[in-house]
Structure 1
Amino acid sequence: MKVYGDSISGNCLKVKYVAGHLGLPYEWIETSVLKGETRTAEFLAINPAGQVPFVDFGEGRILAQSNAIMRYLARGSDLIPDDPWLAAKMDEWLFWEQYSHEPAVAVLRFKIKFQRVPLSDIDPILIKKGNAVLDLMERHLTENEWMVGDRVSLADVALKAYSQFAEDANLSLESRPNIRRWLSGIGKVLMS
């Protein structure tokens, strides 16, 4: 299994976290978005979407999109709840992560940390969206140890990916103790 990913990308880290947690052997192929390595003819011949992460399983089997990759790698593991309702709630968070969380937190982080866009030039609506998604998580984690059920699931892995970099996006976790507790907890579980 060859994982093409950029180590600065939360979406790529999701795949690394799941593979590592499950003890799956893989080869990591560092592919820098900032250096344009996803836009080369060689890369586009393998993955025409020009995005990372993607996994080459050999024999022409290529899988892209971080949440699809995580779901495939984690099938049959404790990262996907057995209960159909909890599995659906996990998927609900996975869709929300890609539709609401990542487009706010990850985009803000990229603009501020990597493109060096001054905060004064950042769209205030984007900052508002970033705070709103973290506030929603903070409220949810007030009454829940994990995002779904009573153990870590792919929902936690997906949301950890960029939540851990909130400060890079100029989104403070100081007033969000539940997110900080949850990040610490998930870090310990994924390291075990």
Structure 2
Amino acid sequence: MRIYGDLTSGNCLKIKIVADRLGLAYEWVPVDAVKGESRTPAYLALFPAGQIPGVAFADGRRLAQSNAIIRYLARGSALLPDDAFAAATVDQWLFWEQYSHEPAVAVCRAEMKFRGVRREARDPARVARGEAALDLMERHLAGTGWFVGDDATIADVALFAYTQWADEGGFDLAARPAIRDWLDRCKVAFRIEPDAIATAAGR
């Protein structure tokens, strides 16, 4: 299995977390989307949408879209419940992450970290959307340890990826203790050593 991506991208990081947690063998192929490497003819021949991450399997099949990939990789494991309703609840969080969380939290981070946008110059509507998403997470986590069930699932993987970097997008987690505690649990559950991702990503 080849994983095409960039470790500064939360969407790509999701794939690495799941693959590592499940002990899956893979080759990481660096693709810098900021430099346009996801728009080259060679990359577009593999993944026509020109987005990262992308996964190419040994049998020639390919899959894109981060949450579709982690859902496929996690099948049959504890990261994706067997119970149909619990699995649907995981999907509910995956869809919400891509629609209501990532477009705000991740985009604010990208603007500040990679484009030099000042905190006060962020789009107010996007900021409000990000704050609302984090507030919803805080309320949910105040009453439970994980997003679905009694242990980590790919719902936690998906939401961990960019929430861990929320401060880089100008969002303050200081008043959100439930999220901070959950982030710590995720790092243990996903066996993420301190600064390992930052070092690998060149941050």
TM-score normalised by length of structure 1: 0.97
Using the TM superposition, give the Cα deviation of residue 141 of structure 1 relative to its aligned residue in structure 2, in angstroms: 0.3
In 1, are the aligned partners of 2:104 and 2:126 still within 8 Å (CA)? yes
The alignment status of 1:123 with 2:123, answered yes or no, reads: yes
Structure 2 counterparts to residues 108-187 of structure 1, below 5 A: 108-187=108-187
Structure 1 counterpart SS, 2:95: helix
Using the TM superposition, give the Cα deviation of residue 118 of structure 1 relative to its aligned residue in structure 2, in angstroms: 2.2
Matched with 2:55 is 55
Structure 1 counterpart SS, 2:3: strand
- Give the aligned residue type for 1:114: F
Between 1:14-23 and 1:83-92, the stretch displaced more is 83-92
Matched with 2:35 is 35
Extract unaligned runs of 5+ from structure 2: 193-203
Report the Cα distance in structure 1 between the residues aligned to 2:152 and 2:68, rounded to whole angstroms. Answer: 18
Report the Cα distance in structure 2 between the residues aligned to 1:145 and 1:59, rounded to whole angstroms. Answer: 38
Structure 1 counterpart SS, 2:190: helix
* RMSD of equivalent CA atoms: 1.0
Q: Residue by residue, what CA displacement relative to the aligned partner does 1:122-176 show, whole Å, maximum 9, x if unpaired?
A: 2111111111000000000000100011000010000000000000000001000
Aligned length: 192
Report the Cα distance in structure 1 between the residues aligned to 2:84 and 2:127, rounded to whole angstroms. Answer: 35
Report the Cα distance in structure 2 between the residues aligned to 1:176 and 1:160, rounded to whole angstroms. Answer: 14
Q: Residue by residue, what CA displacement relative to the aligned partner does 1:14-56 show, whole Å, maximum 9, x if unpaired?
A: 0000000000000000100111111111111111110010100
Structure 2 counterparts to residues 83-122 of structure 1, below 5 A: 83-122=83-122
- Give the aligned residue type for 2:161: A
Runs of 4+ off more than 6 Å? none
Matched with 1:70 is 70
